[in-house]
C-alpha cells in the first residue's frame, strides 16, 4: 500500500524507517519530512493545515493510509477529515485528541472515571486562582489548559513563582492556550513514559521509555522538547505496567467511548510513579519525540500491521514482539537551544557514526544542501544505539556522538543516568 507520513522531526525519521521496512508498504511519502526520512521514501511539499489539499493529494497519489506524527494536525482534526473522505488515517479524532489538547478536559475525565492523577482546580480568573493558591500552599503546579509548546507548565516552589505563572498565562503570555489554567497538587516520584496502542475499545502496551526534559546534565536548566531517551524504562516494572493499563489506560478508553469520542491511536501517558502507585501527569495523543527514536528500533513486529489493526478496531488479542535489547538516544542540539539558535552550520561524520550495525543517526532538524548536511533547527540529530543493557547502549551512543564532527552542536552527557545507576547498583 501507499503510505503518507505527516511530520518532519526525529520521531518521523524513526517512523519512516519502520513503516518502510514493512512488507505492506509499497511506497512511502513524507510531508514535509527531512533528509533522514528521504532515505526511506519520498519527501513531498504539502500544506498539512489545508485538509482539502491533503485529501486531494491522497486521491491523486493513491495513498491508502495516512500516519500522523505530531499533535497539531490531530488537534486540528486532520484524521476526522481524511476519514470522512474515505481515506484511512492513524491517530485520534479532533475530539479524542483533546486528551493532549486540553489539560482541563483530561483532568475532568480523570475525575469522572476515577483515574489516579494530582488533585486539581480550573480557573479563568487570576484573582480566584491566587486565592485558591494561598489556601492550598506550595509547592504547586500551574498549567495552561491548551498546547503551549512545552512552556505551559510551571512547577512553583513559592507563592511568588506561582502567582507570576498565573498572571503570565491568564494575562495572555501563551495566547489562547493560557486563557484557562489548571492548578494541581505537586506529585513526588520518578517520571516515566508509558505508551499504549488503542483501537477505540482495546488497548495494548506499546513500550516504555524515560525522557530527559531539562537541557543540562543532572536535569538542570530550562525545559526542552527532550534531550534524550531510553527504552525500556525498567522503573516501570511489569507490575506497574499492568497497573497503568488497568487503572489509567483502560478507564480512559472506556470513558472516551462512553462520551461518544472513542480513542484510536497512540496514547502516551506521562506517569509519576508515586509511593501510592502510578499517577497520570499528562496525556499526549501521539508518540513521543525523542522516545520514539529509542522505542521503534526495538519493535520486532510489523508496524504497519499494528497501526492498521488499531484503525480497524482489531487489536483484541494482538500482542507485539519487542527486542530484548535496550536502546538509548542522545539528542544533539544546536548551541543556544532551547533559546534562539543559528541555522546553517555543517555537520560531518554521520556516516562514520552509523558504521556499527546497532547505531542509527536520526535526523530531526537538518537540511540537505547538495552533498552537505546542515543544521536547521534546535534539536538537530538523534543518535540511537542498541545494546544488551542501557549502560552498554549508552556507551555505544556516546562513542557514535564522538564521531560526529559538528562544533556548533552540543548534547547532554548523562542520558540514561537513572537506568545506569540502577543497573550498576
The residues that touch ligand AMP, with contacts defined as CB under 6 A, are 118, 141, 153, 155, 184, 186-187, 191, 213, 270, 281-282
Binding-site partner at residue 404 among ligand GLY, ligand AMP, none, CB < 5 to 8 Å by type? none
Q: Is 100 in the site for ligand GLY (CB under 6 A)?
A: no
Q: At what angle do helices 103-113 and 250-258 cross, to 10 degrees?
A: 100
The pairing of strands 326-334 and 409-410 is: antiparallel
Look at the block and give the residue holding cell 525500556: 232
Say whether 329 sits in a helix, a strand or coil.
strand
DSSP secondary-structure letter at 172? T
Q: Between residues 99 and 141, which has the closer beta carbon with respect to ligand AMP? A: 141
Please pick, from the candidates 69, 91, 265, 288, the single residue that binds ligand GLY as defined by CB under 6 A.
288
Please pick, from the candidates 279, 284, 366, 384, the single residue that binds ligand GLY as defined by CB under 6 A.
284
Please pick, from the candidates 184, 291, 392, 414, the single residue that binds ligand GLY as defined by CB under 6 A.
291
Closest contact distance (angstroms) between CB of 114 and ligand AMP is 18
d(CA 79, CA 122): 29
Look at the block and give the residue holding cell 535526523: 363
Binding-site partner at residue 288 among ligand GLY, ligand AMP, none, CB < 5 to 8 Å by type? ligand GLY
Q: How far is CA 255 from CA 95, 140, 241, in A?
A: 13, 27, 20
Given a contact cutoff of 8 angstroms between Cβ atoms, the answer to whether 381 and 366 are in contact is yes
Site for ligand GLY in 186-215 (CB under 6 A): 211
Please pick, from the candidates 33, 91, 226, 262, the single residue that binds ligand GLY as defined by CB under 6 A.
226
Closest contact distance (angstroms) between CB of 291 and ligand GLY is 6
Q: Is 12 in the site for ligand GLY (CB under 6 A)?
A: no
d(CA 362, CA 289): 11
Cell of 237: 516494572
d(CA 420, CA 209): 14
Closest contact distance (angstroms) between CB of 143 and ligand AMP is 6
Closest contact distance (angstroms) between CB of 82 and ligand AMP is 28
Q: Between residues 116 and 226, which has the closer beta carbon with respect to ligand GLY? A: 226
d(CA 222, CA 6): 28
Q: Is 289 in the site for ligand GLY (CB under 6 A)?
A: yes
Binding-site partner at residue 289 among ligand AMP, ligand GLY, none, CB < 5 to 8 Å by type? ligand GLY
Chain centroid to CA 187: 21
Binding site for ligand GLY (CB under 6 A): 211, 226, 284, 288-289, 291
Amino acid at each position: 500500500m501507499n503510505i503518507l507520513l505527516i511530520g518532519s522531526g526525529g520521531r518521523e525519521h524513526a517512523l519512516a524507517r519502520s513503516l518502510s521496512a514493512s512488507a505492506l508498504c509499497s511506497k512511502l511519502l513524507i510531508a514535509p519530512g527531512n533528509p533522514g526520512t528521504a532515505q526511506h521514501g519520498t519527501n513531498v511539499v504539502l500544506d498539512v493545515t489545508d485538509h482539502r489539499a491533503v485529501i486531494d493529494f491522497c486521491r491523486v497519489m493513491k495513498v491508502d493510509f495516512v500516519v500522523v506524527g505530531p499533535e497539531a494536525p490531530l488537534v486540528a482534526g486532520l484524521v476526522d477529515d481524511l476519514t470522512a473522505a474515505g481515506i484511512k488515517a492513524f491517530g485520534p479524532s479532533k475530539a479524542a485528541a483533546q486528551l493532549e489538547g486540553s489539560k482541563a478536559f483530561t483532568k475532568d475525565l480523570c475525575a469522572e472515571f476515577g483515574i489516579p492523577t494530582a488533585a486539581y482546580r480550573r480557573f479563568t480568573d487570576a484573582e480566584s486562582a491566587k486565592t485558591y493558591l494561598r489556601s492550598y500552599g506550595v509547592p504547586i503546579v500551574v498549567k495552561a489548559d491548551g498546547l503551549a509548546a512545552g512552556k505551559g507548565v510551571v512547577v512553583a516552589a513559592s507563592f511568588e513563582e506561582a502567582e507570576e505563572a498565573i498572571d503570565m498565562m491568564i494575562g495572555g503570555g501563551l495566547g489562547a492556550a493560557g486563557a484557562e489554567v489548571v492548578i494541581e497538587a505537586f506529585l513526588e516520584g520518578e517520571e516515566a513514559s508509558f505508551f499504549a496502542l488503542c483501537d477505540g475499545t482495546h488497548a495494548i502496551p506499546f513500550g516504555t521509555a524515560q525522557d530527559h526534559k531539562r537541557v543540562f546534565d543532572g536535569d538542570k536548566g530550562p525545559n526542552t522538547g527532550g534531550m534524550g531517551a531510553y527504552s525500556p524504562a525498567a522503573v516501570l516494572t511489569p507490575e506497574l505496567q499492568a497497573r497503568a493499563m488497568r487503572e489509567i489506560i483502560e478507564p480512559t478508553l472506556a470513558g472516551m467511548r462512553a462520551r461518544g469520542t472513542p480513542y484510536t491511536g497512540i496514547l502516551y501517558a506521562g506517569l509519576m510513579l508515586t509511593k501510592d502507585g502510578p499517577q497520570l501527569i499528562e496525556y499526549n495523543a501521539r508518540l513521543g519525540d525523542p522516545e520514539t527514536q529509542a522505542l521503534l528500533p526495538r519493535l520486532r513486529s510489523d508496524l504497519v500491521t499494528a497501526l492498521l489493526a488499531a484503525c480497524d478496531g482489531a487489536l483484541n488479542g494482538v500482542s507485539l514482539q519487542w527486542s530484548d535489547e535496550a536502546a538509548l538516544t542522545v539528542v544533539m542540539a544546536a548551541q543556544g537551544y532551547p533559546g534562539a539558535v543559528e541555522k546553517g552550520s555543517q555537520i560531518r561524520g554521520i556516516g562514520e557514526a552509523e558504521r556499527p550495525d546497532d547505531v542509527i543517526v536520526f535526523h530531526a532538524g537538518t537540511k540537505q544542501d547538495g552533498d552537505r548536511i546542515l543544521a536547521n533547527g534546535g534539536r538537530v540529530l538523534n543518535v540511537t544505539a542498541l545494546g544488551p543493557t542501557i549502560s552498554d547502549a549508552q556507551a555505544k551512543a556516546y562513542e557514535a556522538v564522538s564521531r560526529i564532527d559538528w562544533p556548533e552542536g552540543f548534547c547532554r552527557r548523562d542520558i540514561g543516568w537513572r537506568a545506569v545507576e540502577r543497573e550498576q547498583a
